[in-house]
Chains A and B, each alone.
Chain A
Amino acid sequence: MKPLAGLLSGIIFGFGLALSGMSDRDKVLGFLDIFGDWQPALLLVMAAAVTVTLLGFAVVRRQRKPLFAPSFYLPTARAVDAKLLGGAALFGMGWGVYGFCPGPAFTALFYGDTDTYYFVLAMITGMWIASRLETRTSHG
């Protein structure tokens, strides 16, 4: 059942991304352009999504365990360090250059623009480079 939970969540997530305009690069860049012709609509997407997770996660936490899994798999990191800040800053740069973050880039694969395929392949390559850097650093 767990794979089906992934599918269901992904479909609803992708539907929401397309409906909200997050998978339209022009709208995202317009949203980030607060010093130009700012299009604030996507602020509502974030506000609505976070309202649901804040309320919904509080309810889910009362579950003893997930319906189709033995336990919850939650991030344990708490530190605000240079790796977090540097990574987030690099991610923001890429987001600002092209208007895609990872989820919308996947949803936009359906639109058939070949450059979106190159974006996703480059994104995977970037993750691989980062994982090599992490391995090298952690082994001294």
Chain B
Amino acid sequence: MAITGGLLIGAAAVILLSLAGRVAGVSGILWGALTEQATHLWRWLFLFGLIAGGALAHQLLGLPIPSPQSLPTSWAVIAGLLVGLGTKLGNGCTSGHGVCGIGFNSGRSAVATVTFMASGIATVFVLRHVLGAPL
């Protein structure tokens, strides 16, 4: 399922580039949907598709819905702020830098991908194994 899912994610990026000439970077598409009035429709439909496609996968394949988390809401807010700040300043997220940027052989995207992976790994290490946080 991991491999099939990954193949589909890559295929979605190739389709968007081939048909619309656009990079399938979710953070960039989200910011563009909110700020670029003239070309916002394809972006909103892409974002809607992310939700609809996930729903379709769960409905068609009977995948279990992940259980709701038990952390305080403040964790979601802090994490969301960091993800928004970081992806805007760093010009991309897992999809834009990781899936698409590396697909373009971009050294800049490869560096960004290694950096956010290392930072994510370090954050989980500190929270779980140093501070003993319940995540």
Which residue of B is nearest A113, CB measured? B68
Any chain A CB within 8 A of the CB of B38? no
- Residues in A whose Cβ lies below 8 Å from that of B55: 14, 18, 110
Which of A13, A59, A88 is the one whose CB lies under 8 Å from B53?
A13
Report Cα–Cα, A49/B97, bound state, in Å.
12
- Residues in A whose Cβ lies below 8 Å from that of B52: 10-11, 14
Given contacts A5-B15, A66-B21, contact A53 B99 (CB under 8 A): yes
Total A-B pairs in contact (CB under 8 Å)?
478
Main secondary structure of the interface of A (DSSP, over half): helix
- Residues in A whose Cβ lies below 8 Å from that of B54: 14-15, 17-18, 23, 107-108, 110
A56 near B11 (CB under 8 angstroms)?
yes
0/1 string, A62-86, CB within 8 A of B gives 1: 0101111111111101111001111
B112 near A84 (CB under 8 angstroms)?
yes
Number of interface residues of A (CB under 8 A): 113
- Residues in A whose Cβ lies below 8 Å from that of B11: 12, 16, 52, 56
Within 8 A of B (CB), among A114-131: 114-116, 118-131
Given contacts A5-B15, A97-B75, A100-B79, contact A14 B51 (CB under 8 A): yes
Which of A70, A94, A111 is the one whose CB lies under 8 Å from B79?
A94
Given contacts A75-B91, A119-B76, contact A85 B85 (CB under 8 A): no
Any chain A CB within 8 A of the CB of B4? yes
- Residues in B whose Cβ lies below 8 Å from that of A118: 73, 76-77, 80
Given contacts A7-B46, A32-B124, contact A56 B13 (CB under 8 A): yes
B5 near A131 (CB under 8 angstroms)?
no
Which of A54, A65, A108 is the one whose CB lies under 8 Å from B103?
A54
A123 near B81 (CB under 8 angstroms)?
yes
Which residue of B is nearest A69, CB measured? B21
Which residue of A is nearest B35, CB measured? A131
A90 near B10 (CB under 8 angstroms)?
no
Please, could you name 6 A-B residue pairs with CB atoms under 8 Å apart, sorted by A?
A11-B56, A36-B124, A66-B17, A72-B21, A91-B87, A92-B121
A-to-B contact residues, CB < 8 Å: 1-26, 29, 32-36, 41-42, 44-54, 56-57, 59-60, 63, 65-75, 77-80, 83-103, 105-111, 113-116, 118-131, 133-134
A-B pairs, top 9 by smallest CB distance, nearest first, are A10-B49, A126-B84, A20-B5, A87-B90, A92-B119, A52-B10, A53-B103, A14-B53, A96-B123
Q: A8-B49, A15-B54 are in contact. List 19 more A-B contacts (CB 8 A).
A: A7-B46, A19-B4, A36-B128, A44-B2, A51-B7, A52-B9, A53-B10, A53-B104, A57-B104, A87-B87, A88-B115, A96-B120, A99-B135, A101-B95, A102-B26, A108-B54, A122-B77, A122-B79, A125-B81
